[in-house]
Amino acid sequence: MSEKPSVLFVCVHNAGRSQMAAGWLRHLAGDRVEVRSAGSAPAETINPAAVEAMAEVGIDITDQKPKILEYDTVESSDVIVTMGCGDACPYFPGKRYEDWKLEDPAGKGVESVRLIRDEIKGRIEKLLADLVPAG
C-alpha cells in the first residue's frame, strides 16, 4: 500500500452509497487518504436524499458528480470497496477488496437514508483505523 493510501468506493449509480462513503472518508481522514468514487452505470446527479442526509451531519457532497468506473482508477487504488456493483467491478490481484452489503438509498426518503448514512459512517471509521493507525 502506498504511503498515502487510496480508497475507491464503487456502486452502480455512484449517486448514493458510494458518494456518502466518500464524503465520510474525506471528512474523517482529511488529507491522510486519497478518496475516489465511481459507478458501473453512473446516474446524472447525486441522490438528493443522500445530499440532505449528509448535510445534516455537516458534510457537503453537492460538488460531487457521478463518475464512470474506469480500469485505471481501480488499478491505481489500494482499497476497493464495492457496494452492489456485481460483475461490473474489475478485479486486480494484490488489491484489497471489501464488499459492503448496504441497502440502496435510491427512491427512499431521507428518514431511510439516515440509517444507511450512519451504517456507512461506522464502516468508514473501522476502515480508517485500519488504514491510518492512530499515532
Q: What pLDDT does 77 receive? A: 95
Name the residue among 46, 22, 54 with its Cα closest to residue 35: 22
Residues with a known catalytic role: 11, 85, 89
Tell me if 35 sits within 8 A of 88, measured CB to CB. Answer: no
Angle at which helices 48-56 and 110-131 cross, to 10°? 60
At 88, list the grid cell.
461490473
133 pLDDT band (50/70/90 cuts)?
A: confident
Domains of the chain: 6-131 (3.40.50.2300)
Short-list 37, 27, 41, CA closest to 74: 37
Summary mean pLDDT of the chain: 92
**pLDDT tens track for 73-122:** 999 999 999 997 666 666 778 889 999 999 999 999 999 999 999 999 99
The separation between the first and the last C-alpha atoms of the chain, rounded to the nearest angstrom, is 18
